[in-house]
Structure formats: C-alpha cells, structure tokens
Structure 1
Amino acid sequence: MPRFSVIVPARGVQGFLRDCLDSVLDEPHRDVELIAVDDCSPDAGGAIIDEYARRDPRVVPLHLRRPSGAGPSRTAGAALACGDYLLFLDGDDTLAPGALAAADARLRECGDPDVLLFDHERTDVWERRSPSGDGPLLEAARDGVFRAAQRPGVLGVAPAAWNRAVRREHWTGRGLSFADGPYEDVPYAYESLLAAGRIAALDRVCVIWRERRRGSATTTPGRHHFVVVERYEELFARLAGGWAGAADPLPLLTVLHARMTERLLAVLDDTDRILPADRAAFFRAASGCIRRHRPAGAPLPAALRSYRAYRSLHGAQELRRDLAKELRDRGEAAARSARRRYYGLRLHAPLDDDLVLYGACGGPAAGCNPAAVERKAREIAPQLRGVWAVREDADTEGAGYAVPEGADRVTVGSRRYWEALARARYLVTDGYFPGATGRPGQICLQTHRGTPLRTVGLDAHRHPAAAPGPGPSRLLEHADRWDFCLSANQHSSEIWERAYPSSYETLATGFPRNDRYFTATADDVRAVRAALGVRPGATAVLYAPAPAGPAATAPPLDLVRLAGALGPRFQLLVRAHPHRGAPDPWPAALREDDAVLDVSGHPCFEDLCLAADALLTDFSPVLFDYAVLDRPVVVHTAGWDAFRLTRGVYVDLPSGLPGDTPGVTAQDEAAIAGAFHSGRWDGPAAASLRAAFRSRFCQYDDGLAAERVVRRVLLGEDELLPALPPAERRPAPAPRSAERAAAQQDGAELTLTGPGAVVV
C-alpha cells in the first residue's frame, strides 16, 4: 500500500501535464501512486497519461467515458486510490521539490492526522511567483494536532483541493467528495476540516498553483459564477447536523461566515467573472446567502445593506478607474493617424464573408504557410477573395516578395489595408497584422512559422538572449485574437498551449507549406535542380543556417574551407536567412567552378529542399520541415551549449538520442566533410535516427494540411480530414531516384526507337 495517492484530473492541459506528472514521479519520496484521470480531454492529455503509465508502474491511468469536470474526475480517481493519504493536484500545477518527503515526515511526527494542511505559491503566465497568504495561519498552527473547534482560524486557509493531504479512511468514512461544476472544492475543503478529529499543519510550500489566463471556469465571465453561492448553501446544509463535536460552534461559524463573505464579495467585484449586466442579480443572491447564515450578533457589512449602498461605496473607486481609462483612450486617440482612425470607423461596417486577408512575417511577404493556404483556397473555395498585406518596401526585396499571380495586395498602413483589416471575415497569418484590434465575428488563424526548437512566446522571455519581438503583454494580446492555430506534431501542440496561453483551438493539421513535399514529382525535382544550376550527378547539400543577429550563438561555417574539403562531387546550395542578409562573400573561383551556388534569393524554400540530397544546418527549425522528405540531415553543432543556455531549447539536438537527433552531428568543416566522404551522412545509423525524428516531429504532415485548414477554418466544416497512415505517405523522390527514373525512361525510349531494339 503506497503512502500517497496523488490524483491528477486532466482536461485541456496538454501543455503543462508533463511537468505536473514529472513533479510527482521525480520526487525523492517514491512511495506514491499517481492516478491520472483523463476527463475525455480533447487534446493529447489521454495519450500523455498512457505514455507515462507504460514507462512507470506507479502511474494508474483512468479514462472517463464522458466529460465530467474537475470535481467528479477527482472523486473518480479517489475511488481507485490505495494510498494512506490522498493528494489532489490539478493537471497544470506542480508539486514543489521535496514536498512528499516533507509531508510524510510531518504526518509521522503528528501520528498520522486526518488532514495535513500545507502552503502553496501562485505563479502567473510570466512564471512570477507570489505567496498564497496562508503562511501566517499555517505557522500559527504548526505546533501539535488540533480540531477545527480548537483553532477556528484554520478555516481561513484557502478552500482548495490541492493544499491538503487527507487520510483515505477520513475520506471514505465521512463520505467526502467534490461537487459537480465550478467551485467544486468549496464544500470539500471546509468539510474535510470541520469533520476531522485531528488536523496538523506544515508551514512549507508544497504546491505551485498556476493561474490560468483562459480556458477555466474561473477565468471566463458569465452566470456560471452564481454557483459559488449554491456551494456555500450546500456546505451549510451539510454542516447542519453538527460542527465536528464543537460544544460552541459560534467561533467556527463566525470564521466560516467571514470567509464566505470575503469570497462572495471578491467574486462580485471581479469584472473577469461577473458581467456588469449580472452584477445586481449576483449581489442579491450573495447578500441573501450572507444574511441567512449570519451568526448571531455578527454585524452586516455596510456594503450589503442594499445594492444602491454597494454601488455608492464602490462609486469613487469606479470613477477613478473610468477617469484613468478615459485618459488612456485620449492618449491613444491623439497618437493615431488619420488612416488608423479610419480603421476604427470601418470596424462598424458589416464583415465581408468572402474576404480573406493573408499576411506572412517569417520571410517573403506572400509566402510560407499562409501562401499554401491561399493556393488551396483558390482551388477548393474559389468564392473566397484573398488579399495579401505586404510591406511598403516589398517591391524592393526581390522576387521572393511577390504576391501570387492574379492575387490582390494592399500595403500595410494604407487606407485599403485598414479597410481589409476591418472588414475581412478571415485573417490568416504566421505573425500578426500591425494595428489589428480584432472584432466580434472575425476568425483569426495563426499558422506559426514552424516547429519550435528554441523557446518561443512566454517561454522565451525567461532567457537572456530571447529574440526581439513584442513584450509579454503584447504577445498575449496577439494570442487572445487567435481562434485557431496550426500544429505539425504533438510536441508543438503542447508548447503552443504553454507559451501562448489563451482560448484558441489548436488544429492537428500539419504545416500547409509542407504539402509541396508530397505533391512534387520526379520531374519537379529534376526541373528545380536544373533551374538552380545543380550539376548532373552532383550531391547537392543545402546549407541553411539559422538567422544571424545579436543573439546568434552558432558560428557560421567557412564556405571556402568546407567546399574545398568536400571536393568536386559535392555542390553547396547556400541559403542565407531572409533576416540575415546575403551570405559572406567567397572567392570567384568557387562560383566559376559551381562549388557554391547562392540560392538566398530563391522565392520558394520548399523547392530548394526538393533539389537537395541532404540538408546542412545548425540550429534552424528548417530541419523539422526537411525531415518530411526523409532525406539525410547533418547538424553543425558548434556553439550549441551557448545557444541552449542563452536561448533555451525544447529539443537536445546533439544528444544522439532517437527522437532528438535527426542524423549526423559535426563540430567543424573537417568533421562535416568526413561525414560525407565516409558515407555516415546516409548510413544505417543516420537513417535510424532520422526515422525516430520523423516519427516525433512529422506526425501530421501527409500532403493534406492546406485542405484541412481551408475546410475547417474558411469553410467551417466541423471535422478535420483524417490523417493518412504513415505507411501510405509518399514524399517526393530523392534526387538520385529522380535521375535514375529519368535515365531508365530515356533508355527505354532509345531502345524502342533504335534498330533491333529490345525493351528492358
């Protein structure tokens, strides 16, 4: 029988669930069972639970047949528990290191009481921690074991499921359970203390509680918050039969009533919970409950005498808030240009149901995932009208910035831009539209720019060399406007949820730009190579490093040295990142010998990948896309430690572990050339690593991503097209296979037309 049973309900928390489960399983105190309850989670929560159960026998998975909510999920998990004590931990929270060992020591010291209370910390989306406020109460109660009647102040501890360990016999003997719906832990939290014969306290932080921005009942405004009044009514009804043996229940009742009053008024004053139109009704419900259960002699707060009194007492504070808002609005209005004001006016015009505004910030102004979506929309939804938002300098940036032939375009900041931004029903981007505020009814799709290798979003702001971009507050404002975002793999889905916490829906579609890798033919591969100037029979190596800049930590390769070491059988296709500028110059002799081809200005990165026999990169996320082709990857790992420490990473590329490393790794030009000359770049070991890497990061890419996006987002279909099984996915043939096929075709034609021909 384990000492602890930790019950974790999980629904819609895939971005945080691994950290939660790891915090329990990595505890030095290992006498624990972890009951993970999949509450019919719409994301990969159930799969993550099963993954942990396969590798650790202490994990007990429980999959509910229908969505039940946190309360019933906890109760269902507790029914399977075998431990001496039950601990409840939400799927996006974590245990503090050493929490179980500290709790066990305190329980043994106190002779195994019915309930052990412990402290917690709150953490927000920026990982800023703040104390719970329960510390002084727990410190005052840390001596000895007591009943609630002996220390009524203990009822002031936050009424939560996850800040106490409850003896399983106490749970079953008292018939404790959680309510169904919001505020489900209020009756349980108080009744577990009031019915306990022995209580102990541990003035130590044992749980890190995460404040969710979106997606939970407590962060969504509406009338469902009225249920908190019902919860306190239920609690007082259950306690009517007795007060834990207290001869005089008045002190307990007084403290409990004060805590209830404080909680109900806090909910009333929270504009993120109670809408202005519902405030008077909530006031009547809350004040009625407070009046009904007021202890004898207890004063009624002045604000509760009437709703008019409440509004009067809060009027000065509201006036100050309104004045501050008016001043902010005046400042913003003064800073707006005439065209920006025009945008505000056009927000009141009807939305154009057939208008789609596209924008791409990850390179070409009309490229990447949005471009692939736009192409597919033309094919299967021709009734939609696409418009591209491009920078003012787009015409000076080269062919890569041209919009598709026949497509309309607007310049960012122009009058037509503000018109399209205000009236388009659909917004499709891999970044953001400058100046956008969003409006009800608009549907915003965030395609993202690729699978994340380094930290992104809020995660990036914890590292000293985070890439420049919007600050955390602005970043969250952008994420709050998304309705959908795309993912190519479960790895990305979990990171999006954690790094961009908001209420959008993540679509497991694959990346639309990668569809090209499945639709291209052998003829396409040969044509691209010929257009680029790749020599027939040469092994083309695409060198695509990550962007350079102040935060770059990967040293660039010496192309002269590398080309010389590779020799004439190889040809380097050098693609400098659009944000990097032109690659470093190299001697004219290299150009004349075609040892190096500068392909930085080529408009389609996917075509460059099709032309290449192998990819050579450092810490660029392009390797995740290239892996779709199932072609060799060589990673230049010099500077990895500095990159990892300053930028933060999600994948340990040089580890050599399946799923982390896509192929051969090398520190310098000599090692890279050695890998190619020895054949290791395309050997069995590299192929095995590549297969594991593809399995992890190319889960959803099958050539149908763009169609999934158009049907689900732009056409409003309810279900995504099913993914092709991996065995049925056919990426474009490698260049050697394409050339071999061409040679066979040419040979067959010659044989058929020559004298005495024999078909082979």
Structure 2
Amino acid sequence: MPRFSVIVPVHNVRGFLRECLDSVLRQSYTDLEVIAVDDCSPDGSGEILDAYAARDPRVTVLHLPENVGLGRARNAGMPHATGDFLLFLDSDDTLTPGALRAIADRLEETGDPDVLVFDYARTYWWGGTRRNGLADLLTGRSDTFTADEYPEVMELLMVVWNKAYRREFVEREGFAFPPGYYEDTPWTFPVLLTAGSIATMDRICVAYRQRRQGNILSTTSRKHFDLLDQYERVFTFVGSRPRLAGWQAYLRHKMGEHCLDVLAKPDRLPPEDKAEFFRRTAGLFRKYRVAGPVPDGLRVLEGSWARYRVRQQAARAVRALGERGRPVRAAAAGRVRSGVSFVQEHRPLDPNLAVYSAFSHQGVLGDPAAVHRAARDLAPHVRGVWVVRPEQVPSLPPDIEYVLLDSPDYRRVTARATYFVNNVNWPGALVKRPGSVHIHTHQGTPLKYLGADLLGKPGARYGVDVPQMLRRADRWDHSLVANRHSELVWSRAFPCRFTSLRSGSPRNDVLVNAKPDSGAEVRARLGIPDGNTVVLYAPTRRDYRRGGYVERFDLARLAKDLGEGRTLVVRLHPSLADGPARGFGLAELHRRGVVVDATDEPHVEDVMLASDVLVTDYSALMFDYANLDRPIVLHADDWGAFTASRGAYFDIRADAPGHVAHSYRELAWLLASGAWKDEESARLREGFRARFCEFDDGRAAERVVRTLLLGEPEMPAVPTPPPAVSAEAPLESA
C-alpha cells in the first residue's frame, strides 16, 4: 500500500501533461501511485498517459467513455486509490520539488490527521510567481486542530488540490464531487468542517498555473449559475449535521461574498443574465437567514436589483472622479513640494548635518550604519538623520533620528545636509547642491557585472535603467573601496567624476576585530546548540530565472549529510527575502528545526560571526567573510549559466577563497571529509584575503569619518601581505 495516491483528471492538456506527470514521478519521495483519469480528452492526452503507464508501474490510467467534467473524473479515480492519503492534482499544475517528502514528514509529525493543508504559488504564463497572499494562516497552529478551534483555516482558497486527505476518512464520510463548474466548493467546506483533525504546513507544494486565457471559471457564461447550486449543496450538508449548525451564518456570508464577486466582474456573466443571478443570490441569502448582524458589504442582498445597480453606478462614478482628480492633486502636491524645495535650497547648507540611508531606505544597516556609529563617537557635533520607509520605523533603534522618505521633513533635511552617505543611489529627484558631499559605500566587493557593464547583458539589465543609474552616480564625490580590484571595477562600471577612498569596508570592521566569542550571542538567539559547527549557506540570485531564485540542492539532504554536531544556517539574498523562495521548503525546514533560516537577521555581519564555515556560490558575501579567516567552500555548479546571463569580472573558480565543488556530491564530500578546513583551504584563503581584504584593517569607519567628515589627513590602510600572484589580474571583457 503506497503512502500517497495522486489523482490527476485529464482533459485537453496535452501541452502541460508531461510536465505535470514528471513533477510527481520525479519526486525524491517515491512511495506513491498516480491514478490518471482520461476524461475522454480529444487531444491525444490519453496516449501520453498510456505511454507513462507502460514505463512506470506506479501509473494507472482510466479512460472514460464520455466527458464527465473535473469533479466526476476525480470520483472515477478514487475507488482505484490504495494509498494512505489522497492528493488531487490538476493536469496543468505541478508539484514542486521535494513536496511529497515535506508532506510525508509533516503527516508523520502530526500523527496522520484527517486533512493536511499546504501552500501553493501562482505561476504566470509570462514567468512570474506569486505566493498565496494568506500564507500566514498556515503558521497559526503548530499542532492539529478542528475548524471550530481554528476557524481561520476556512479563509484559505476553497480548492481541493492544496490538501492531503486521509483516504479512510474520505471513504468513511462518503465524500464525493458533484457535477458542475464549482465542484471544489461542496467538497472543501464539508471536508474541513467534518475533519476531526487538521494540520497545516507552511510550504509551497503546488505550482498553480495561470494561463494567458485564464481558466474555465474566467469565461463569460451562464455556467456561473452553478455556484448557487453548489452552495445549496453546502447548506444542505450543514443542515444534515446538527453539530455544524453554528457555521450557517459564516457560510451564508461566504456565499454572499463569493456570488457578489462573480457578479461584479465584467467578464463573468452575460449582461442579460446579471439581474437573474442577483435575484437568485438574494433569494438564497434570505432562505438561510440567521440571527445576527449582516456585514455592510452584504446588506445589498437584502434589497432589490435596481438598488444594487444604483449602488454600483455610484461606486463607479466615485472611482472615475478620483481617477480624474488624481493628476490635479498630484500637480498641486508637486507645486507645494517645488515651493518648499525652492525655499530650502536657497538656505545655506548645514555643515553639521549628515543624512544616511541603506538598501533603499530599509533601516540602519550595512556600511552607512558603521559610518554613523563612528561619527557619533568621533564627530558628535555632526547630526545624523536616517531616511527610512514607514514599515521600518518599528524596528529602528530608539536613539535614531529619522525622516520618512518623500515626506516634508525628508525634503527639508536633504535640502540642507552637507553629507550624504548611502550604499545605493539616492532618488533621482534629490538635487545635489554645490558644497554637499556624497559618499557612496557600495555593497561589497564586486564579482558580478554592475553599472555600465550591464549594457552588454540584456537579461541582467531587465528592469534596470543603466543611463539613469549613471546620472544618479554623477552625484558621487567619494567611492569607498576595500581593495584595488574594486577600485578598478567602480571606475569602469561607473564612469563618473568621483574620487576613490581606499578606506576598507566600514561594516567589516566588526569582522576584522572579531574575538573568539563574538558570535556567541547570535548563536544563542538562533537556538544553535553549544559546541555545534555552524555551516552558513548564502546563495545569490540568478538572472537567468525570473524572480531570481534557483534551488541548487535539497537543503534537508545537506542538513542530514552534515551529520551530528553541525547546524546548517541559511541566509537568502536580500532580493529573495520577500518573495516565494522561502515557501519552497525553507520556512517549513526552519519550523521543524532541520535548518536555521537567518534571512531576517537584520545584520549579516552577526550571522557571519556566528558561523564556522561559509558555503556560497557567487555571493559577494565571500569577500567580507574572508576577513574572519574562516574556511569558505564555493558551490559553482552553474557557473556557465551564471556568467552567460550576468557576467563576472574574473573566474572565481580559478581565484577561489577555498575548495570549489562543481556538484552536490563534491560539496557533501568536502563538508563530510573535513577537507573544507585542510591546509589547501587555508592556502587558498590566504591568497584571497591578500587580494580582496587589502584595505580592511578594522579602522575603515574611523577612516571615513576622519578623512571625509572632519577633513583630517588621510589615514593609510595597513594592507595585508601581497598574494603570490598579481593583485591586478586583468578583468574579463565586458
């Protein structure tokens, strides 16, 4: 008996079917069977199914003599299922890599509940990916529950394919799909309300394909009247089970919201059918009336069709008026801003005012934060003000003075400040006044192409306006560099009139000056056992994949292969932190304690201090980490694709800071054998440090403050000994 029975109804999906089946059959978890139901598909999908069944005994194919629709095709497959749990997968969707292993582990952890709810992501025809907006509801309970105990679970999308169902539970309750367009509704509500135990998992297991023409529910048709019939079935089910009577008000409201949503969409119902749909919805709303208040948005169902139309027309008029007035309001606001700017920009600069920002106004971070700390000690007369976004305010240190981006205070401060410290470009509207000093810190040593060098890489340049970037860089007065490689790259990638300061990277001062116990506090906060060896994995983004996230190997497998006494800490690239990347397994592995997700740690320096070895691919983090003189392992299995899409200034494999793995097998061996910290690793790291940590001597922030804010003579950095090979290795052609 297999663990999973995956039921796949098939109709007119020849172009997507192989991808769907492969996503199931190529899972690392193999204890499964596939029940593929050919719903009399006229496009040759049945032949594809037969070919898969001939190659893989786990595939069973049913050919239906006539087309019965999605729900009844699933019904046809269920009697043939022998697995402990049922999963339903639409034949144009796919399972994500590692999904079944994650589901199996969560089921075991929660004692085989009746239903396990997992997450999904919409994948668009143009390549975009968007995670379920209600994913936070999946983290609300770590134990099992019922719908009465955690009613929030009912707010998730009412579909069948984001859940695993215990087959014994389904058969005992006699659940089946009715015919119709909206067949998921009378399945999902009864199942969740009846289940004696439900569990959730914060992991994207299904890629929900969004076709360019939309799905069947986005067509204009009278078939949308089926929604009313399906809700009638739900009310009938609830009425047959007295213990569920308390849910009728909730379901009545859900029905009203769902039907009004269909009615409001201009492309769902034929215009001549909308009045009938409204009246039938209102009739159902009255039929199942219960005591209690009616939400404001649903009171329209207690009135007439004419009243509803008047209300809709009024709402459209208000929206139109707002759209017409928006340019007027924007112009008026622009005039006010211009007037304020004119007044402020004709006042003298304040020689004791410095403005800071980091990572597009994300908080007190990186090199600007290190410079600000040093300025407080060495130049206390210089007032430091940070520019931040509103959502960052709660996390700011209590003694930080700040202004919100594009606020009146922001415009006043930036018009008067003498010093500007940033690791990205300031907004284009910010005018550089004569006498002001712009200090650009960058974000570490460059390996990937940047600035003007992107002009030859159209894929990496997607969404980047290089000429505008250079116009903003024209405001730089000083560019901080940690090594002569960076100095050469910045002058080439940003052909502007700035002066390089061989300062070192201010944020790396804490790494250069680190003591043996510097990472202890962070280890404790992350829950890392005392004495464990910490392996920090920090992958960078890829420009050859929309969204930037490419999973290079199975994190759970690496964590297991590391063995006892070792902790795998993962830190994603900042550009991936808010996307779906963590939903593809990282969040769930962190919850289970398999790995530690340190992506949200505000200061990456703390994470580096807490680790014993860095595993990375092409992340600039390696240049900073080398200051710790701790082992580094490169995982360079897609170097060709990476450089073809993004470009690199040199071959990191040839000038590596440690051993290089070209496959997961090599990586696992390096870490398991101890080669990651052998003499060869130390030799490679010594040469790397000499070349790329040349000006990092632990006094970078002090050097910036004394030289650029206080006007003192430049403090020469004390470079590390030169490498055996030339530090001025030629750049590869852009």
After TM superposition, the score normalised by the length of structure 1 is: 0.48
CA distance in 1, matches of 2:587, 2:604: 25
Counterpart position of 2:623 = 624
Which residue identity lines up with residue 622 of structure 1 in the other structure? L
Gap change, CA 1:341 and 1:461, over 3 Å in 2: farther
User: 1:615, 1:623 within 8 Å by CA — same for their partners in 2?
Assistant: yes
Which residue identity lines up with residue 421 of structure 2 in the other structure? V
Counterpart position of 1:583 = 582
Counterpart position of 2:597 = 598
Pairwise mapping of residues 682-697 of structure 1 onto structure 2 (< 5 A)?
A: 682-697=677-692
Secondary structure of the residue that 1:702 maps to in structure 2? coil
Pairwise mapping of residues 646-665 of structure 1 onto structure 2 (< 5 A)?
A: 646-655=645-654, 660-665=655-660
1:546 and 2:540 are equivalent in the alignment: yes
Two-structure CA RMSD over aligned residues (Å): 2.5
Pairwise mapping of residues 197-208 of structure 1 onto structure 2 (< 5 A)?
A: none
Following superposition, the deviation at residue 557 of structure 1 comes to 2.8
CA distance in 1, matches of 2:690, 2:526: 31
Gap change, CA 1:725 and 1:488, over 3 Å in 2: closer
CA distance in 1, matches of 2:462, 2:640: 21
Gap change, CA 1:365 and 1:587, over 3 Å in 2: closer
Which residue identity lines up with residue 502 of structure 1 in the other structure? C
Number of residue-to-residue matches in the alignment: 387
Following superposition, the deviation at residue 569 of structure 1 comes to 2.5
Counterpart position of 1:709 = 704
Gap change, CA 1:499 and 1:545, over 3 Å in 2: same
Counterpart position of 2:434 = 440
Secondary structure of the residue that 1:673 maps to in structure 2? helix
User: 1:467, 1:551 within 8 Å by CA — same for their partners in 2?
Assistant: no
* Greater alpha carbon shift after TM alignment, 470-479 vs 693-702: 470-479
Counterpart position of 1:411 = 404
1:676 and 2:675 are equivalent in the alignment: no
Following superposition, the deviation at residue 406 of structure 1 comes to 0.8
Secondary structure of the residue that 2:445 maps to in structure 1? coil
1:503 equivalent among 497, 508, 512: 497
Counterpart position of 1:488 = 482
User: 1:480, 1:502 within 8 Å by CA — same for their partners in 2?
Assistant: yes
Which residue identity lines up with residue 611 of structure 1 in the other structure? A
1:531-566 Cα offsets, whole Å, 9 max, x none, are: 221112211011111135627485433111211222
Following superposition, the deviation at residue 726 of structure 1 comes to 3.0
1:562 equivalent among 538, 558, 565: 558
Gap change, CA 1:714 and 1:454, over 3 Å in 2: same
User: 2:696, 2:719 within 8 Å by CA — same for their partners in 1?
Assistant: no
CA distance in 2, matches of 1:613, 1:464: 38
Following superposition, the deviation at residue 404 of structure 1 comes to 3.6
1:686-723 Cα offsets, whole Å, 9 max, x none, are: 11111111111100001000000001111122x32122
Pairwise mapping of residues 72-91 of structure 1 onto structure 2 (< 5 A)?
A: none
1:375-399 Cα offsets, whole Å, 9 max, x none, are: 000011111100000123324xxx7
CA distance in 1, matches of 2:658, 2:362: 29
1:441-478 Cα offsets, whole Å, 9 max, x none, are: 11100111111111111011211222456523212211
Counterpart position of 2:569 = 573
User: 2:635, 2:660 within 8 Å by CA — same for their partners in 1?
Assistant: yes
CA distance in 2, matches of 1:586, 1:462: 35
Counterpart position of 2:413 = 420
Following superposition, the deviation at residue 595 of structure 1 comes to 3.4
1:218-246 Cα offsets, whole Å, 9 max, x none, are: xxxxxxxxxxxxxxxxxxxxxxxxxxxxx
Following superposition, the deviation at residue 424 of structure 1 comes to 0.4
Which residue identity lines up with residue 426 of structure 1 in the other structure? Y
CA distance in 1, matches of 2:379, 2:472: 27
CA distance in 2, matches of 1:701, 1:469: 33
Which residue identity lines up with residue 610 of structure 1 in the other structure? L
Following superposition, the deviation at residue 680 of structure 1 comes to 1.2
User: 1:485, 1:505 within 8 Å by CA — same for their partners in 2?
Assistant: yes
Pairwise mapping of residues 271-670 of structure 1 onto structure 2 (< 5 A)?
A: 336=334, 338-361=336-359, 364-395=362-393, 402-434=395-427, 435-468=429-462, 470-547=464-541, 550=546, 552=548, 555-581=551-577, 583-586=582-585, 590-591=589-590, 594-655=593-654, 660-670=655-665
CA distance in 1, matches of 2:597, 2:376: 32
Following superposition, the deviation at residue 427 of structure 1 comes to 0.5
Gap change, CA 1:589 and 1:362, over 3 Å in 2: closer
CA distance in 2, matches of 1:639, 1:725: 33
Which residue identity lines up with residue 597 of structure 1 in the other structure? V
Which residue identity lines up with residue 391 of structure 1 in the other structure? R
Secondary structure of the residue that 1:355 maps to in structure 2? strand
CA distance in 1, matches of 2:586, 2:551: 20
CA distance in 2, matches of 1:363, 1:633: 31
Gap change, CA 1:545 and 1:364, over 3 Å in 2: farther
1:84-129 Cα offsets, whole Å, 9 max, x none, are: xxxxxxxxxxxxxxxxxxxxxxxxxxxxxxxxxxxxxxxxxxxxxx
User: 2:454, 2:466 within 8 Å by CA — same for their partners in 1?
Assistant: no
Gap change, CA 1:591 and 1:554, over 3 Å in 2: closer
Secondary structure of the residue that 1:595 maps to in structure 2? coil
CA distance in 1, matches of 2:344, 2:361: 29
Runs (4+) of structure 1 moved beyond 6 Å? 332-335
CA distance in 2, matches of 1:584, 1:685: 37
CA distance in 2, matches of 1:639, 1:341: 53
Gap change, CA 1:543 and 1:487, over 3 Å in 2: same
Which residue identity lines up with residue 691 of structure 2 in the other structure? R
Gap change, CA 1:558 and 1:508, over 3 Å in 2: same
1:171-227 Cα offsets, whole Å, 9 max, x none, are: xxxxxxxxxxxxxxxxxxxxxxxxxxxxxxxxxxxxxxxxxxxxxxxxxxxxxxxxx
* Greater alpha carbon shift after TM alignment, 427-436 vs 369-378: 427-436
User: 1:634, 1:664 within 8 Å by CA — same for their partners in 2?
Assistant: yes
| Structure 2: runs of 5+ lacking an equivalent | 1-329, 723-734
Following superposition, the deviation at residue 358 of structure 1 comes to 0.2
CA distance in 1, matches of 2:690, 2:413: 40
User: 1:563, 1:595 within 8 Å by CA — same for their partners in 2?
Assistant: yes
Following superposition, the deviation at residue 592 of structure 1 comes to 6.9
Secondary structure of the residue that 1:663 maps to in structure 2? coil
Following superposition, the deviation at residue 577 of structure 1 comes to 2.2
Following superposition, the deviation at residue 341 of structure 1 comes to 4.4
Pairwise mapping of residues 159-308 of structure 1 onto structure 2 (< 5 A)?
A: none
1:251-295 Cα offsets, whole Å, 9 max, x none, are: xxxxxxxxxxxxxxxxxxxxxxxxxxxxxxxxxxxxxxxxxxxxx
1:721-752 Cα offsets, whole Å, 9 max, x none, are: 12235379xxxxxxxxxxxxxxxxxxxxxxxx
CA distance in 2, matches of 1:683, 1:444: 44
User: 1:453, 1:650 within 8 Å by CA — same for their partners in 2?
Assistant: yes
Gap change, CA 1:588 and 1:608, over 3 Å in 2: closer
After TM superposition, the score normalised by the length of structure 2 is: 0.50
Gap change, CA 1:608 and 1:588, over 3 Å in 2: closer
